[in-house]
Structure 1
Amino acid sequence: MNSKHRKVLAAVFADPVSGSIAWADIEGILVAVGCRVIEGAGSRVRFEKDGLIASFHRPHPEKEAKRYQVRDAREFLSKLGVEP
């Protein structure tokens, strides 16, 4: 995980939940920690690691993740044992 990933990870775990984190940055963190990306139909995407799966819809037309998506990503990263 590089320094940009660590900064985004800190933003994901910050309170209050930010609504200005780019979804691509969150995907970058998930890939950096070893998650496999499973593309679904439309904007659906799943991330799998060690038998744990998280499902998301990519935000559109905006590029920023919604607050609930940041919370869900935070919960998934915690389950994987990844925290800032």
Structure 2
Amino acid sequence: MSNKHDAMIAKIFAHPIAANIDWKKLTHALEHYGATVDMSHHGRAKIVLDGNELVIHTPHHGHDIENKDDIMALRHFLTELGIKPVEA
């Protein structure tokens, strides 16, 4: 895994919760793990990985995910699939 994907996963698991996760970088990191990200026309994205699905809001203005509930849901989703930040 590249350092940029490591950094993105670490940012998802950061305490306190990061409020500036770049949507495009997140999408690339998830795709690196084999996820598919399907965008809807209603401001939502469905993330599918290993048969599991998560639906989160997409950024409306700008490029960052600011909804902390979505970040927490993503954190739990990744944890259930065994994806965690790399220990330093």
Q: Per the shorter chain, which TM-score range?
A: 0.7 to 0.9
Structure 1: runs of 5+ lacking an equivalent: none
> Which residue in the other structure is 2:58 paired with?
58
> Which residue in the other structure is 2:26 paired with?
26
Cα deviation, residue 43, structure 1: 2.2
> Which residue in the other structure is 1:36 paired with?
36
Cα deviation, residue 36, structure 1: 1.6
TM-score by length of 1: 0.86
> Which residue in the other structure is 2:79 paired with?
78
In 1, Cα distance between equivalents of 2:28 and 2:76: 16
In 1, Cα distance between equivalents of 2:39 and 2:64: 19
Runs of 4+, deviation exceeding 4 Å = none
Letter in 2 for 1:73: L
Q: How many residues align?
A: 84
| Identity in percent | 29
> Which residue in the other structure is 2:70 paired with?
69
Letter in 2 for 1:43: G
Cα deviation, residue 71, structure 1: 1.3
Structure 2: runs of 5+ lacking an equivalent: none
Q: RMSD value over aligned CA atoms?
A: 1.4
